[in-house]
């Protein structure tokens, strides 16, 4: 098994590509060791000293570190990923393939009067924003819309990335303002 690695715009995050499907649909983020109990792979990765976050995309695993050196962490992370896939263990402890998407949608907030605007915003995020940030090992999901402000959740390499403010304000905000005149600002949640 050959696992490729790619740098991301976030120097604290590295993207690992195992050459197979990681998550059937959606994404899943583990921000702490305590939340990792849903996934045997996430638990193994948090067992590597210095790992502070794990994110699953469709065909990649993004790992975030503390101030440790990638040179020391990378072999242990590669070993944990390889061991997991060679063992045939399921990605999730309960054997399901449920992603964070279903939970995220339940937490959305917006007025019923804005439903059409929100549908357009979600479509733009889904078709134009998410594919681009997935290439960088992250994800951005819609959280809400109120008073012209779009609230987004940044995950994986996007969370805590030094360039995330520029991505939000110059990239996503400009895109949404262009297509949706009701949008005045984009903020992270």
Structure confidence at residue 154 as a pLDDT band (50, 70, 90): confident
Of the candidate CATH numbers 3.30.1370.70, 3.40.50.1100, 3.40.190.10, 3.50.50.60, the domain formed by 4-87 belongs to 3.30.1370.70
Over pLDDT 70: what percentage of the chain? 90
pLDDT (0 to 100) of residue 83: 94
Q: What does the angle CA 101 – CA 74 – CA 139 come to, to the nearest 5 degrees? A: 20
More confident residue, 94 or 153: 153
- Contacts of residue 6, defined as CB under 8 A and 6 or more positions apart, other chains included, come to 14, 15, 17, 137
Nearest to residue 138, comparing CAs of 35, 3, 4, 6? 6
Instruction: Say yes or no to pLDDT of 142 above 60.
Output: yes
pLDDT (0 to 100) of residue 146: 93
Structure confidence at residue 134 as a pLDDT band (50, 70, 90): confident
Of the candidate CATH numbers 3.10.20.90, 3.60.10.10, 3.40.50.410, 3.30.300.130, the domain formed by 107-188 belongs to 3.30.300.130
Structure confidence at residue 129 as a pLDDT band (50, 70, 90): confident
pLDDT (0 to 100) of residue 71: 94
- Are 1 and 129 a contacting pair, CB within 8 Å? no
Instruction: Say yes or no to pLDDT of 78 above 60.
Output: yes
Report how far apart the first and last C-alpha atoms of the chain are (Å, whole number). Answer: 37
More confident residue, 25 or 181: 181
- Are 8 and 44 a contacting pair, CB within 8 Å? no
pLDDT (0 to 100) of residue 110: 92
What's the pTM?
0.78
DSSP 89-126: --SSTTS----HHHHHHHT-EE-GGGHHHHHHHHHHII
Instruction: Say yes or no to pLDDT of 77 above 70.
Output: yes
What's the DSSP call for residue 34? Answer: G
How does the average pLDDT of the chain come out, rounded?
86
Structure confidence at residue 105 as a pLDDT band (50, 70, 90): low
Nearest to residue 14, comparing CAs of 73, 59, 83, 58? 73
Instruction: Say yes or no to pLDDT of 44 above 90.
Output: yes
Phi/psi of residue 2, each to 5°? -110, 125
Hey, where are the domains in the chain? 4-87, 107-188
pLDDT (0 to 100) of residue 107: 80
């Amino acid at each position: 098994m050959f696992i490729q690695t790619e740098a991301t715009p976030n120097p604290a995050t590295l993207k690992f590509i195992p050459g197979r499907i990681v998550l059937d649909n959606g994404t899943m983020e583990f921000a702490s060791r305590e939340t990792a109990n849903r996934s045997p792979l996430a638990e193994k990765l948090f067992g590597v000293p210095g790992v502070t976050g794990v994110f699953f995309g469709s065909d990649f695993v993004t790992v975030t570190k503390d101030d440790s050196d990638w040179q020391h962490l990378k072999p242990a992370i590669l070993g944990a990923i390889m061991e997991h896939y060679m063992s045939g263990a399921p990605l999730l402890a309960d054997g399901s393939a449920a992603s964070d998407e279903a939970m995220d949608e339940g937490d959305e907030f917006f007025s019923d009067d804005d439903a059409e605007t929100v549908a357009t915003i979600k479509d733009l995020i889904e078709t134009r924003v998410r594919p681009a940030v997935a290439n960088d090992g992250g994800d951005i999901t819609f959280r809400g819309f109120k008073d012209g402000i779009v609230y987004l959740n940044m995950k994986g390499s996007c969370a805590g990335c030094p360039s995330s403010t520029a991505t939000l304000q110059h990239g996503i905000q400009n895109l949404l303002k262009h297509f949706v005149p009701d949008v005045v600002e984009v903020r992270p949640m």
